[in-house]
Structure 1
Amino acid sequence: MQRRTHDWRIDERQYARHESRRGRRHAFEQLDPRRTALVVVDVVPFFVEQNEYAFGLVPRVNALATALRDAGGTVAWVVPGPSRRTAVDREFYGEEVAAAYSASGGSGPLRDRLWHELEVREDTDLLVEKSAASAFFPGRSPLPELLAERGIDTVVVTGTVTNVCCESTVRDASTLGYRVVLVADACAAVDDQDHNASLHVVYRSFGDVRPTSAVLELIGA
């Protein structure tokens, strides 16, 4: 499969809006790798196999994971768990799609459920399951507690799908008080329109938006 990258963008008027408020384009101009976690959301076969954009983010995720891990930071791999197939789910999605989403994370050991090209270090990395769109929604994932144990104050979010689970994760992480960076070219949606709509919302209200190259520079600074 071809590895594609979204033609991502933030409107200049949004950059100008924040520059006029805080005197700089990006909220977070530095980070402490030891207090930073790379949160990789839902990079599993269900979302990767039929989406060239999801397939294309894998090398960037691996580069970020290696750099942050080597700098003393945390890498957290998040896998969809069986969701509660409520009456509302079935009404909203229909029976077939609700069942498919509920099973989207697969079964078995968490490492085996991730996309096979991801470079995971099970001796140091966190592997967690979530039962909601967000990896930070209270009671639906152990991730917030695990990050608190490691003194994490900054999360760098990557994965799929940009406008669903990644955006939900960013919103809840922001609500919990984390410094949040969404990696623009290491997330994937089904098309550029959906992807860029989420980048706009996140940059405007919930966190910073940076490309992989800029995040790698922050890690190495």
Structure 2
Amino acid sequence: MSLDVFSAHVNEQQVTLDPTRCAVIVVDMINEFCKPGGRMVLPGYEALVGPQRAIVEAARAAGVPVIWIHDAHRPNMRHEREWAKRTEHGLENTWATEIIEDLGARPDDIHVTKRRYSAFFQTDLDLTLKDMKVDQLVVFGVVTNICVRSTVHDAFFIGYEVVVPADACAATGPREQESSLYDIATHFGVVSDTKSVVAAFNQGETISNLIAA
């Protein structure tokens, strides 16, 4: 992809993932957004399961922690901020906010609940990562242009090195997917793919920025 004049000032970046410094962040792969019966289902989630499972399994084999993000909201709020813009969704402590079974999330993994788009906004995710001495993140899930992107932005702002495997994310449409990944690659992190992330965990290979390279 050719770069616009402004974004062409990006610095080339390569990342070598260090299992002692890295964590995998899986954003909002919950029943509400993926499964029949959910209130805001994104069509085609099935295409994400294979790539996501491959990354999760490679991460576990390398000793990299996997953190599952749950979008979950409390009832009876006078002004639930997300619901001001979106259909009511993700009531806490319900089937809706559980991670889809396809991905094999474990109770002994780390699970973080959020009430805004970003997984960092007023959650304990940053504190948890700092306690694990993590400063590299592999971030993916749904949807690319909202919760994944917001999480990546905040991660960049507070100092994390971020890799986003494009084929493990889905946006609300092709235009949004392309635009969001372009902006992430040129301003906030490294956009790669599942094959490269798995190779980085398994063989220590370096990850390059697919879009800005």
Interval of TM-score (by shorter of Structure 1 and Structure 2): 0.7 to 0.9
**Deviation string for 1:92-134 (max 9, x for gaps)?**
53xxx44x2xx32552499x711111112323x2111011100
- Give yes or no for contact 2:117–2:146 (8 Å, CA) kept in 1: yes
SS at match of 1:156: strand
Per the alignment, residue 8 of structure 1 pairs with none
Determine whether 1:128 maps to 2:119. no
Determine whether 1:68 maps to 2:68. no
Per the alignment, residue 150 of structure 1 pairs with 132
- Give yes or no for contact 2:23–2:137 (8 Å, CA) kept in 1: yes
SS at match of 1:107: coil
Following TM superposition, by how much is the alpha carbon of 1:201 offset from its aligned partner in structure 2, in angstroms?
1.0
Following TM superposition, by how much is the alpha carbon of 1:88 offset from its aligned partner in structure 2, in angstroms?
6.3
RMSD: 2.4
**Deviation string for 1:45-84 (max 9, x for gaps)?**
1111333332211121111111111111110000012166
- Say which of 116, 130, 155 aligns to 1:173: 155
Question: Where is the helix percentage greater, Structure 1 or Structure 2?
Answer: 1
Matched letter for residue 99 of structure 2: L
Following TM superposition, by how much is the alpha carbon of 1:89 offset from its aligned partner in structure 2, in angstroms?
5.5
* Higher mean C-alpha deviation, range 27-36 or range 38-47: 27-36
Per the alignment, residue 2 of structure 2 pairs with 12
Query: What TM-score, normalized to structure 1?
Result: 0.79
- Give yes or no for contact 1:158–1:166 (8 Å, CA) kept in 2: yes
Per the alignment, residue 34 of structure 2 pairs with 48
Matched letter for residue 175 of structure 1: F
Gaps of 5+ in 2: 36-40, 205-213
Task: Name the CA distance, whole Å, in 2 between partners of 1:31 and 1:165.
Answer: 23
SS at match of 2:107: coil
SS at match of 1:199: helix
Alignment CA distance shift 1:89-1:144 (3 Å): closer
Q: How does 1:111-122 map to 2 (within 5 A)?
A: 113-122=98-107
Following TM superposition, by how much is the alpha carbon of 1:13 offset from its aligned partner in structure 2, in angstroms?
2.5
Identity %: 31
Task: Name the CA distance, whole Å, in 2 between partners of 1:219 and 1:78.
Answer: 21
- Give yes or no for contact 1:34–1:71 (8 Å, CA) kept in 2: no
SS at match of 1:120: coil
* Higher mean C-alpha deviation, range 166-175 or range 47-56: 47-56
Query: What TM-score, normalized to structure 2?
Result: 0.82
Task: Name the CA distance, whole Å, in 2 between partners of 1:74 and 1:147.
Answer: 10
